[in-house]
Amino acid sequence: MIGIVNYGIGNLRSVANALEQVGARFALIGSPAEVAGADKLLVPGVGAFGACMEALTTRGFREPVLAHAAAGKPLLGICVGMQMLATLGTEFGERPGLGLVPGRVVQIPRTTPELRLPQIGWNALRLRGDCALLRGLGADTSAYFVHSFHLVPDDPADVAADVDYGGPVIASVARANVFGMQFHPEKSQGVGLKVLENFWTL
């Protein structure tokens, strides 16, 4: 069973609808005690890094999420949920993350004056390595993004995919049983559904 962490931030209904489409069994987890019953954990997130981390922590989910990952169970962070996997976020000041993927969340570099932030819309994933969640995507790897910050891992081997947006921008990370997708699988049509199907069948 996939547990979707409901800590008050994130479009849970659209994620749930996408999981339904791939035949996954899932449940919304509204209390920290329920985390232990999940085989796999999905952490959504929208908005600012600090607000998401504060909500996750004050609602008591931080330690259960860390325990889930430490037990070797699959964990997937989506959008800001991916960013929270980092050691540190720098949006509106430095704030600690979960530290599951050592690295920093920084603003996408504005390499040209014309580069717009946030990045909004479709961009083609460039796969780096062999991430289990990104297998079998086919020729069209376009995914849907809405973000101004990205997680830059300390270890380049943790980068599962990037995109070209005025230069390399990290789109996905993978470190052992911990995965992150900066794009929105629930809005990325075939690519997103394949990612969620791969997570369900891990």
Residues involved in catalysis? 79, 184, 186
CA torsion sign for 64, 68, 16, 107 is positive
Beta bridge partners of 2: 26, 40
SS3 at position 65: helix
Cα three-residue angle 122-148-35, rounded to 5 degrees: 90
CA torsion sign for 28, 34, 37, 39 is positive
Edge-to-edge strands of the sheet including 40-43?
Answer: 26-29, 2-5, 40-43, 75-78, 178-181, 168-175, 159-164, 126-127
